[in-house]
Amino acid sequence: MVNRTELALSGLVGLAAAGLATGLTILIVRQPWMPQVITRPVWVWTLFLMLGGISAAEIPVMVYGMRRMAARPGRSVRYLLWLTNGFYVFFAAVYAAPYILLTSRPGTGAVLAGLSLIRFISSLLFLPGAQNTQSTLRNEDQ
């Protein structure tokens, strides 16, 4: 079983990786040789809303899946949950990177990457710790 400290550590690794990936993407965009591919505001905001919507819609699905995963016994599930939680938190930066690269707008791209923080908080709030995993999931199934 996974406890809250392990979930927090894997989430912090994902959060740090998201910050690093976003920072590197912003550094690339600030180079003089990097063109702005999408310039029309309607397309910029369409892309922002589309990527942000997908990233936000993924949150409850992933939390539900990781809750089900946490209910399974075994040591291998524990490691898989650590890895999944880290990538879950990190993945908001994966949505932010193409937005920043295509639009050259690091400010709104950082907002997309900021969903990593929301994902980190959701994993801490909604994923059960070792002591209450089985009872929480039994109550959900009823």
Domain boundary assignment for the chain: 4-127
Counted residue by residue, the chain has a size of: 142
pLDDT tens, position by position, 87-106: 999 999 999 999 999 999 99
4 confidence band (pLDDT: 50, 70, 90): confident
Please state, in angstroms and as integers, the Cα–Cα distance from residue 74 to each residue in 43, 45, 81, following that order: 47, 45, 11
* Residues in CB range of 118: below 8 A, 6 or more apart: 56, 59, 92
Residue 60 has a pLDDT of 95
Instruction: Reply yes or no on whether the pLDDT at 46 is more than 50.
Output: yes
Instruction: Reply yes or no on whether the pLDDT at 83 is more than 90.
Output: yes
Helix (H) or strand (E) holding 20: helix 4-29
pLDDT tens, position by position, 29-45: 999 998 888 889 999 99
Please state, in angstroms and as integers, the Cα–Cα distance from residue 47 to each residue in 20, 29, 64, 79, 95, following that order: 22, 17, 27, 35, 10
139 confidence band (pLDDT: 50, 70, 90): low
